[in-house]
Amino acid sequence: MAADVVALTPGREGRAPTAQDFLLHGASDPIIGPEETHRLAAVLKTAGTRVRVHVTDVFDHVDTGEESLLPSLSLARFLARFLAAAGG
């Protein structure tokens, strides 16, 4: 599985996604800083992928524990519905 992740990582051996990507990152993420999302967006843009980045104060890192994960999943479902309705 690790090889699959590396193959899908932009800038590695795999191809960049061709669909538009929406990258959402917690502003106070203590594990992976928001600058990493901006770096990923730059790599994706260089590879020809349309990317939108949003850094939010709504959450930090979604997998810091089971209790904190559930509200983040609810937010993700809401955002998916919102973006689908907005045509994104």
Q: Could you tell me if residue 66 is inside a domain?
A: yes
Residue from 57, 52, 61 nearest 83 by CA = 52
**Beta-carbon count within 10 A of 16 CB:** 18
Decide: 27 and 59 in contact? Cβ < 8 Å.
Answer: no
Q: Could you tell me if residue 33 is inside a domain?
A: yes
pTM recorded for the entire structure: 0.55
Decide: 55 and 27 in contact? Cβ < 8 Å.
Answer: yes
Q: Could you tell me if residue 80 is inside a domain?
A: yes
Q: Give per-residue pLDDT as tens, 3-60.
A: 544 555 555 555 555 667 788 898 988 888 999 999 999 988 888 888 899 998 887 7
> How sure is the predictor about 78, in pLDDT bands with cuts at 50, 70 and 90?
confident
DSSP 3-state of 39: helix
Question: In the prediction, which pLDDT does 31 show?
Answer: 87
CA-to-CA distance for 84 and 21, rounded, in angstroms? 13
* Distance from the Cα of residue 67 to its chain's centroid: 21
Phi, psi (degrees; rounded to nearest 5) at 40: -60, -45
Q: Could you tell me if residue 10 is inside a domain?
A: no
Q: Could you tell me if residue 63 is inside a domain?
A: yes
Q: Could you tell me if residue 50 is inside a domain?
A: yes
> How sure is the predictor about 2, in pLDDT bands with cuts at 50, 70 and 90?
very low
Q: Could you tell me if residue 7 is inside a domain?
A: no
Structural domain including 24 reads 16-85
Q: Could you tell me if residue 4 is inside a domain?
A: no
- Give the total number of structural domains in the chain: 1
